Amino acid sequence: MKRAAFNHRLLPVALLVPQIAIIAIFFYWPAWTAIQSSFYLEDPFGFGSTFVGTDNYTRLFASSEYLKVAQFTILFTVIITVFALGAALLLAVKADKVLRGARTYRTLLMWVYAIAPPVAGFIGVMLFDQNIGPMTDLFNWLGHDYRLGLNYMDTAFAMTITSIWIQIPVNFIFFLSGLQSIPQSVKEAAMIDNASPTRRFWETTFPLLAPTAFFLLIINITYALFDTFGVIDTIVYGNPASNPMTLVYKVFVDGFRGNDIGGSSAQSVVLMLLVLGLTIFQFRMLERRIHYT
Amino acid sequence: MTDTTLSMPVQVAPRGRRIRLSVIGDHFVLILGALFMMAPIYMTLTTASHENLTIHREGLQFLFGGELLNNFDAAMFGQGGFSGEITGMSMLKNSLILGMGFALGKIVLSMMAAYAIVYFRLRFATFAFWVIFTTLLLPLEVRIVPSYEVITGLGLANTYTGLIVPLLASATGTFFFRQYFLSIPEELVEAARIDGAGPVKFFIDILVPLSRTMIAAIFIVMFVYGWNQYLWPTLITTDEGLYTLVRGIKQIRQSLAESNQIPAYGQAMALSIIAILPPVLIVVFLQNWFIKGLVESDK
């Protein structure tokens, strides 16, 4: 905190009030409502609700459907994180290395960042469409009868690859800026010490990139859990029931389509705890890093 | 913070044939990556230049046809939706309002809050900090059902306020400006005080002009973020007059899924291009600012 501060009583309060008020009304109130209604069972016709204790939670974890969705979410998150980070790291290392056209490559590889997930999802639907999609043609040519929206695995494939596609640019930007902030002297010293480029990468570059990689790991997990909503919604449009979906999408489906407010709120609370755990993990790791370096 | 402008590094010149081959390999990987990123959008654009019947019969197109202008014209000015009220133009206007409103709101609110936290002796500064900080824990997607109920309860459904303000309830911008203000030398505020500048004058005449680049950078990132919002606009705007372009995509998805004639593929592809063009142009042409905003705001 700055030492030379202003001594005013009302001004700082006035400056903080708008932000705090918006957060209180649009953040704390809904979050509190979610926690509260996760312990109630709402009448489907809206005639009030009854306190049911932890029934919504036990119902949730006993539901095989919920566990199946949870399982899919974990798999989906792991695959997206691994591929989006891996591809972006490879491309960033190459873009950092080449002398010619570095700026052009950077532009070409990052601009997809600006595309909204649902628009990407819609383009995915077109590419994998039963009648007009070239990807479907490709699969058929390879001997697989591809059916988007009907076959669980086929839909999951389109969803995953579209989600990876829009996540590569942001990872690429962070990796490239991380690579370029490695001092030239370090790179040159590594050049002298170590002849093999592969060993040079794993022994010098990668450890220096580790903070960026860890930060991106968290970002990618959060992305796969929450921000893929638009992709999923456009791809499974019409029949979410038989199709793969993530935990966040299920909160939405149960809350709005199924009108199961209690169950949906319990799911919200479970996700809140998940994010809380993730954040605590992130902080612990950050602390550790500060201690050891 | 290290320098984040992505400058070209000085390379130690490699020698020999083997290295030459590895350079070709590098370019090959990069070109492949660029093709993977661009191909879907390229096909969206080429397909947008064909007639619906052609697309319906032959699938997505790899080459340009002659219908590009017609399809864009239809997507931009043709009446659509249930009430026949919405055009590409009206959705474009709403997207701009959402993007601009969100970015501006975010900057104003978070600069004010960060200023109060950094430059004043506040008894509850730490408390305020944590109240704001906690919002990072819960994305809107998680608390979507109760948020919807709160907003409709306040009568804010189908208003621009209901569309924009709830999205502002997060800490990202505040943290960004807090970090930035903390990096400004203390001598500056001391000098200003000696010269007799009060807190308001210091903020408006010194701090805001000093933060110009930061404001521009964060504006770009927030504009793209606001423009690309989907779930919230989908829930809160049932009135077609308030649809944004990204929200309109859902409408198109629906009409493709449910129509029993030949769907208007060309027009749908054209509208997709319109929905992605403004943020893409901003990201490409203001690239250095955008990267600065992105890399620094997320730290």
Q: For A241-274, how does the pLDDT look when each residue is reduced to its tens digit (9 = 90+)?
A: 678 999 999 888 888 877 788 888 899 889 888 8
pLDDT in tens, A168-190: 999 999 999 999 988 888 888 88
CA distance B137 to B268: 36
Helix, strand or coil, per DSSP, at residue A45 = coil
CA distance B23 to B27: 6
Please give the mean pLDDT across all residues of chain A.
Answer: 87
* pLDDT score at A2: 53
Task: List the single residue in B7, B44, B272 with the smallest CB-CB distance to A180.
Answer: B7
* pLDDT score at B238: 86
pLDDT band at A287 (very low <50, low <70, confident <90, very high): low
Where do the structural domains in chain A lie, given as residue ranges? 78-245
Strand partners, A50: A41
Where do the structural domains in chain B lie, given as residue ranges? 17-77, 88-297
Do B231 and A252 lie within an 8 Å CB cutoff? yes
First to last CA, chain B: 9
Lowest mean pLDDT among A22-26, A212-216, B132-136: B132-136
Could you tell me which of B254, B257, B13 has the C-alpha nearest to residue A99? B13
B284 CB neighbours in chain A (<8 A) are: 107, 111
Could you tell me which of B29, B23, B19 has the C-alpha nearest to residue A100? B23
A43 φψ region: left (φ > 0), alpha (ψ -120 to 50), beta (else): beta
- Cβ of residue A6 closer than 8 Å to a chain B Cβ: yes
Question: CB neighbours of B194 closer than 8 A, spacing ≥ 6?
Answer: none
Task: List the single residue in A95, A111, A251 with the smallest CB-CB distance to B145.
Answer: A251
Task: List the single residue in A123, A181, A248 with the smallest CB-CB distance to B141.
Answer: A248
Cβ–Cβ < 8 Å for A51, B166 = no
Could you tell me which of A225, A255, A227 has the C-alpha nearest to residue A240? A255
CA distance A151 to B299: 41
Rounded to 5 degrees, φ, ψ at B80 are -140, -170
pLDDT in tens, A88-127: 999 999 999 888 888 899 999 999 999 999 999 999 999 9
Please give the mean pLDDT across all residues of chain B.
Answer: 85
Cβ–Cβ < 8 Å for A178, B4 = no
CA distance A183 to B178: 27
- The CATH class, in words, for B88-297 is mainly alpha
If you average pLDDT over residues A52-69, what whole number do you get?
Answer: 87
Do A26 and B47 lie within an 8 Å CB cutoff? no
* pLDDT score at A75: 96
A251: enclosing H helix or E strand: helix A247-252
Give, in order, the Cα–Cα distances in Å from B118 to each of A209, B115, B174.
31, 5, 11
* pLDDT score at A44: 63
Task: List the single residue in A8, A111, A122 with the smallest CB-CB distance to B272.
Answer: A122
Do B128 and A16 lie within an 8 Å CB cutoff? yes
Q: What is the ipTM of this complex?
A: 0.88
DSSP state at residue B257: H
Give, in order, the Cα–Cα distances in Å from A140 to each of A124, A137, A146, B277.
17, 5, 6, 33
Q: What residues of chain A, 144 to 163, have a C-beta less than 8 Å from chain B?
A: none
Task: List the single residue in B4, B47, B165 with the smallest CB-CB distance to A22.
Answer: B165
* pLDDT score at B1: 40
- The CATH class, in words, for A78-245 is mainly alpha
Do A119 and B151 lie within an 8 Å CB cutoff? no
Query: Tokens 């005080």 map to which residue?
Result: B193
Single-letter amino acid code for the residue at B226: G
DSSP state at residue A293: -
A238 CB neighbours in chain B (<8 A) are: 257-258
Task: List the single residue in A119, A238, A248 with the smallest CB-CB distance to B249.
Answer: A119
Cβ–Cβ < 8 Å for B282, B290 = yes
Residue A291 has pLDDT above 70, yes or no: no
Query: Tokens 């790291």 map to which residue?
Result: A89
Low-confidence residues of chain B: pLDDT under 50: 1-8, 10, 299
* pLDDT score at A184: 84
Helix, strand or coil, per DSSP, at residue A6 = strand
Do A116 and B246 lie within an 8 Å CB cutoff? yes
Question: CB neighbours of B38 closer than 8 A, spacing ≥ 6?
Answer: A108, A112
Report the percent of chain A where pLDDT is more than 70.
92
Alpha helix (H) residue ranges in chain B: 17-47, 52-58, 68-77, 88-119, 125-133, 144-153, 160-164, 172-183, 186-194, 199-201, 208-210, 212-227, 231-236, 245-258, 265-285, 287-297
* pLDDT score at B81: 62
Closest chain B residue to A180, measured at CA: B6
C-alpha distance from A261 to closest chain B C-alpha (Å): 8
A123 CB neighbours in chain B (<8 A) are: 40-41, 44, 272
CA quadruple B288, B293, B296, B299: dihedral, nearest 10 = -130
pLDDT in tens, A192-210: 887 788 888 888 888 888 8
CA distance A230 to A192: 49
Pull the structure tokens for residue B272: 């997709």
B276 CB neighbours in chain A (<8 A) are: 114-116, 119
Pull the structure tokens for residue B26: 């590098």
pLDDT in tens, A119-149: 999 999 999 988 888 999 999 999 888 888 8
C-alpha distance from A19 to closest chain B C-alpha (Å): 6
Q: What residues of chain A, 32 to 91, have a C-beta less than 8 Å from chain B?
A: 33-34, 37, 87, 90-91
C-alpha distance from B84 to closest chain A C-alpha (Å): 22
A10: enclosing H helix or E strand: helix A10-23
